[in-house]
Amino acid sequence: MPHARAASPKGRSSDSALPVDPRFDWRRIAYHVLVSRALDDHEETTNRNRTSVPREHLVLYQFSARGHDVGQVILGSLLDRPHDGVGAYYRSRPLLLSLGLSIEDALGSSLGRAGGFSDGRDIGVVSNIPGWKGATVLPMSGDVGSQYTPAAGWAQAVTYRKSALDEKDWEGAIGVALGGEASVATNGFWSALTMATTLKLPMLFYIEDNGLGISVKGEMQTPGGNIATNLASFGNLFLRDGNGCNPAESSALIAECVEHVRGGSGPALVHLTVPRLSSHSGPDNQKGYRTDAEIAADVARDPLPKLRAHLVPSFMSEAEWTELEAEVARDVGAGVAAALARRMPDPASVKRFVYEEARRSGDVPTFGGLSREERAALGGSEEPAPDGEVMRLADVVRRTLASELTANPKLLVFGEDVGRKGGVHLVTEGLQKRFGAERVFDTSLSEEGIIGRAVGMAVSGLVPVAEIQFRKYADPAHEQLNNIGTMRWRTANQFSAPIVVRIPGGFGKDVGDPWHSLSSEVTWAHALGWQVAMPSNAADAVGLLRAAMRSGNPTIFFEHRSLLMTSQGSARYPGDDYLIPFGRANRLREGDGVTVVTWGAMVHRCVDAADRFSGDVDLLDLRTIAPWDRTAVLESVQRTGRCLIVHEDTTTAGFGAEIVAVLAREAFWFLDAPVERLTVEDVPMPYHPVLLEAVLPSAETIEERISALLVV
């Protein structure tokens, strides 16, 4: 597909150069632009008069969309398919208004009132629309650039649901990502661009360029300040570039790009220049970094007067425009009054929806992942099948993935090298050949892209199982991972993204290093909303992985490198229906003298040590640390009076410290000795085996600590 620019040079197109395009409902477009301006006016005026307005009537995070509004509303008018998905950002309210957001919800959410996007939990400009009746606006985030890869994931889900699942109602649906010119410098933008162009995804990038990222000019975000010019050499990318202040030109370019993407010809990017008619946000004062002449020049480019000139008198009369303004004033007045009348959010509800809950009367249904009915139909049993063959951990993970790929056509497995190669640990070996490249596939080398893609897929109703090659490599995706964990909570149960992220980590067989051998599982225990599984053996890996793939919550599934590389942890395969509920510890040895709590590969060293004390050691393998089995640990410690916690993460702020804190509060009067921890010293994981064993807890050091505790 050839690359092209708008016929008119940037910023010089004439308002009268093009006639009114009859494909558009221009009255509806004008209505939503005027509503957006009226809401901006109300918020900015109210917030300037803080001393005379009760604090509860203030919008604490205010981002004006004036100047961006005309193009966004035009775009929104074209997103009319039920499975269109949009990744937007904090200046995208005009788009949401055009997609059905009510005036009351728009302002009520900004005021933090009950109901709306988040029931007062998140800033009102960070919004969403579940696609029960039309396009879906994916849950926005407060960070910059994180909207792109979920939109690309949605676009890939469109392709999968059309071709692999043969769902005809997904035909013609597209993914759309909106962003400003500063966001094109982010990892998310470039990762999504790579995904869209290499896979020819039905995705539209809508870049609105006001020339400033807060105070930093666009030339610092991309060379020359125009991303469309810089992408002219990209294959499989349809480009349009023009003046977003001209409604005729904007509508023509946007429509051309939407038609291109809907037609199945691959992704498109439209770059429109727009003015910045206000400060970056409510607290910002642009006069500190912009001259009066710069501000005046932007005011002169305001697209609203140009929209009026484009429509009056060729499309509507002066009287009709005046009538439209009066209609908007009435509607906004009623909406503002209704928003201000909303009750404050209920503090008693603020702890709800960190995880999936049993449905209560009045709860809204959740958008994303499998439905409860679909998950229930998959079945499952907590009883292991008898006489399964003995298998290694890597082999049972592969077999469990294959079992779920067979049972659930909405499940997809992907990551770097997981396809033809079968993963760097060969865990997915043969799965692509068996299930096809649509379901088991390789990705580009971008952890942001792997996890962000999974978000869009999960929200669309698929079950993504993403692999990050090593624990340390998850760091570039940390923003997406945190956003996934909080999604259900911050949307008040309206959205969820129950993905599974498989992450190998920990020391390897006779080798370590700071890059491939990181454990740091406490990071994910801190990431609210995540389940964290750390199986120590093959049977537990089967039950926990299957439970994760059938869960309504996102899960970090930690595959320990030492167990992947050796036969340690081998166990009988417990069957294709086996499930282990999260938060249930496994008692491996029974004793009355001391409780030993551990998880992951350290379990095997603890077993070796415990077997040297007949009947003295009560050994608990937590199996999951989010949630963790407090009941089992407290019961054991209250009985033994002593506790040793052994883990591979570092000492300071490791997860063992959380267990100690709980025991100090809830089992203090039962303790006969201080609670002990045996962990990796506070140093990075070393490379040479001699150094590695110097920092890892060994069976011998565990035995010494147990002996010392037993005589206290």
How far apart are alpha carbons 100 and 36 in whole angstroms?
A: 13
Our CA angle for 168, 171, 172, nearest 5°, is 165
Beta strands per DSSP E along 487-642 = 500-505, 531-533, 555-560, 571-572, 586-589, 594-598, 617-621, 624-626
Our CA angle for 414, 515, 649, nearest 5°, is 95
- DSSP codes of every residue in 569-601: T-EE---TTB---TT--EEEE--SSEEEEE-TT
Please identify which of the residues 42, 68, 310, 516 carries the catalytic annotation. Answer: 516
* List of residues 6+ apart from 426 with CB closer than 8 A: 394
Site of tokens 């150069």: 17
How far apart are alpha carbons 592 and 608 in whole angstroms?
A: 18
Cα distance from N-terminal residue to C-terminal residue, the chain: 78
Q: Do the beta carbons of residue 81 and residue 145 sit within 8 Å?
A: no
Containing 662, the helix (H) or strand (E) segment is: helix 655-666
Tell how far CA 285 is from the center of its chain. Answer: 32
Query: Which two structure tokens, joined as six digits, stand for 275?
Result: 């003015």
Containing 633, the helix (H) or strand (E) segment is: helix 630-640
Beta carbons within 10 angstroms of residue 428's beta carbon: 26
Torsion angle of the four alpha carbons 386, 537, 544, 621, in this order, in degrees rounded to the nearest 10: 110
Phi, psi of 697 (to 5 degrees): -60, 130
Q: Do the beta carbons of residue 655 and residue 625 sit within 8 Å?
A: yes
Nearest to 401 by CA among 551, 549, 574: 549
How far apart are alpha carbons 419 and 437 in whole angstroms?
A: 7
Q: Do the beta carbons of residue 463 and residue 433 sit within 8 Å?
A: no
Q: What is the DSSP letter of 349?
A: G
Site of tokens 């591979």: 648
Q: Do the beta carbons of residue 544 and residue 534 sit within 8 Å?
A: no
105, amino acid identity: D
Q: Is 68 a catalytic residue?
A: no
Nearest to 522 by CA among 697, 696, 656: 656
* List of residues 6+ apart from 509 with CB closer than 8 A: 561, 562, 565, 566
Q: What is the DSSP letter of 620?
A: E
How far apart are alpha carbons 307 and 29 in whole angstroms?
A: 10
Q: Do the beta carbons of residue 496 and residue 128 sit within 8 Å?
A: no
Q: What is the DSSP letter of 241?
A: E
Helix axes 187-199, 148-163, angle to 10 degrees: 20
Helix (H, G, I), strand (E, B) or coil at 312: coil
Q: Are strands 238-243 and 586-589 parallel, antiparallel or unpaired?
A: unpaired
**Strand ranges of the sheet holding 676-680, from the earlier edge strand across to the other edge:** 586-589, 617-621, 594-598, 643-650, 676-680
What amino acid positions are annotated as catalytic residues?
516
